[in-house]
A and B are shown apart, each in its own frame.
Chain A
């Protein structure tokens, strides 16, 4: 029962957590055949530097008349003022989004979710493993770490794509290979063009080139299609990285982003407020996090 002591009612809060702010698209170009890069800034420029977030968080984006959907941020909070997104054309909402031109507006509210625990990751070695669209949230983390390089130990970045043409941010990552303060390992499943000078094979082939790592002091961040987790996690766990230090970010249907609409519920968690970043230990003891499914009999 509520205690009856001198407690004043909550101050009337005027903020509506569902209120989208208007942002302007300032840059837009294709990254691959069906994936576009978007840069946006608030219509009210004074708001631009006030938008703080953590890598791994997401926002709810509104396209006028089409509705609202969650998107992860691909840029780093260490480069404030603009938000960057990497979005694949999938349905009616993204179709309308792709039809928008520079200087047209869209609605954004957020940021939401827990994001990566970047403060706890400081001082650790970092291993990032991305496949396909999984690069979208991981790029935010990678850029953040590179912009605060002295706070982290060894940094390894593993990235797989189906073909060179499907590799998101290909030029950007090829340039990262030139840096001597991180190991950037790239691979493609196949290359029909003959132009790809780097590794060929699925992302797990890159683990052979890893060499010794300080597993107990490493935090891994993995994101990619469900099929990738199945194979990659086996490798990552075998490296000896503690299961609660293996992080991943998940996708679910969401209508609110703030734990009200129910769609992203998994057991007692909401992906939107308790996630979208979870650990491999969460996945093992909660059955539906990455859809291991009712028939999954895996114990290890």
Chain B
């Protein structure tokens, strides 16, 4: 892969130039939290922020959108109105999340709605500083080698810039004067030093090793009922999870007409209706059943299928769940057979 070097003071000018390709979006402070917003310049962004409330999946797969317009003659695909966007400041865990989404939506029946947004969204990654909730080191997602167009690693005086796609290279070609290929011994030393430093920052000591077996053994564990008693079924964990893809769809009809739209919107396996079938049979009626589905998917089933968890260690469930149910507390409860307070 092509790795280039850029002086740190040149980043504002570079981002200013790439706006010619599309809208520039980045992490911006909103009250106490951070969220992605459309910006004009680097100065509006908060690059020190660890995590946004919602992961960047919302750009590739909006919370609600129209798939089809219909009338009596049939269904017509809703096309267009997808802006070209450049997302700056995406962290390795979230790019790993996007790769998991790519696998689901782009392989085996390609989803044209996701594909169009993925095509029109450039991912400009940025290195990050882990906080006490980050656990990407336990999911092996603390560094990233693909899935981005450009990736900026902050080495204090300058950036090392990984060029991950032809489109990323096109952005570089807009301002070739800002990049250099002269990498020397010091750059390598600085980079290895940075990796060591980052690895030393993690405070979480969660360990997912052996989780598939622990889940299998703990299928009937009373721990699930205890967690189910705490769970509010609010679904926030699924909304903030970078690898949660479930959706529902509904036909909206104009009152008194036969025309309408078929809309798709985020669903949550924490909701009671999630596994309900016609006639009233519910395959997952209890909150414990639904919690077990979610955590089994993230930490057992996905590992069995793809050799890695469907958790990228971003810490959003840890930061979000109002009753402290998250990948850390659930995996610990299963291993220790006790739900922590």
The CA of A10 and the CA of B109, in the complex, are separated in Å by: 13
B123 CB → nearest A CB, Å: 14
Q: Which residues of chain B (232-265) have a CB below 8 Å from chain A? A: 245-251, 253, 258, 260, 262
Smallest CB gap from A262: residue in B: B246
Jot down 20 A-B pairs with beta carbons below 8 A, ordered by A.
Answer: A4-B1, A17-B109, A19-B75, A20-B75, A65-B260, A66-B251, A67-B262, A68-B249, A68-B262, A91-B279, A255-B247, A259-B108, A263-B267, A263-B275, A265-B301, A267-B296, A267-B304, A287-B219, A288-B283, A294-B289
Q: Which residues of chain A (1-57) have a CB below 8 Å from chain B? A: 1-2, 4, 10, 13, 16-22
The CA of A59 and the CA of B70, in the complex, are separated in Å by: 19
A67 touches B278 (CB 8 A): no
Question: Counting CB contacts under 8 A, is B336 at the interface?
Answer: no
* Chain A: interface residue total (CB-CB under 8 A): 46
Asked if A260 meets B109 with Cβ closer than 8 Å, knowing A65-B251, A65-B258, A255-B247, the reply is: yes
A65 touches B253 (CB 8 A): yes
B247 touches A295 (CB 8 A): no
Question: Counting CB contacts under 8 A, is A251 at the interface?
Answer: yes
The CA of A10 and the CA of B283, in the complex, are separated in Å by: 38
Question: Counting CB contacts under 8 A, is A105 at the interface?
Answer: yes
A64 touches B72 (CB 8 A): yes
Question: A91-B279, A262-B267, A267-B304 known; 9 other A-B pairs, CB under 8 Å?
Answer: A16-B77, A17-B112, A65-B251, A67-B251, A68-B249, A69-B278, A252-B283, A261-B267, A267-B301
Question: B173-207 vs A: 1/0 string, CB under 8 Å?
Answer: 00000000000000000000000000000000000
The CA of A18 and the CA of B109, in the complex, are separated in Å by: 9
B277 touches A268 (CB 8 A): no
Smallest CB gap from A18: residue in B: B67
Question: Counting CB contacts under 8 A, is B111 at the interface?
Answer: yes
User: Which interface class (under 10, 10 to 19, 20 to 34, 35 or more) fits B?
Assistant: 35 or more
Q: Which residues of chain A (75-106) have a CB below 8 Å from chain B? A: 88, 90-91, 93-94, 105
B220 touches A16 (CB 8 A): no
Residues in B neighbouring A287, C-beta threshold 8 A: 219
Asked if A265 meets B297 with Cβ closer than 8 Å, knowing A17-B111, A65-B258, A253-B277, the reply is: yes
Residues in B neighbouring A69, C-beta threshold 8 A: 278
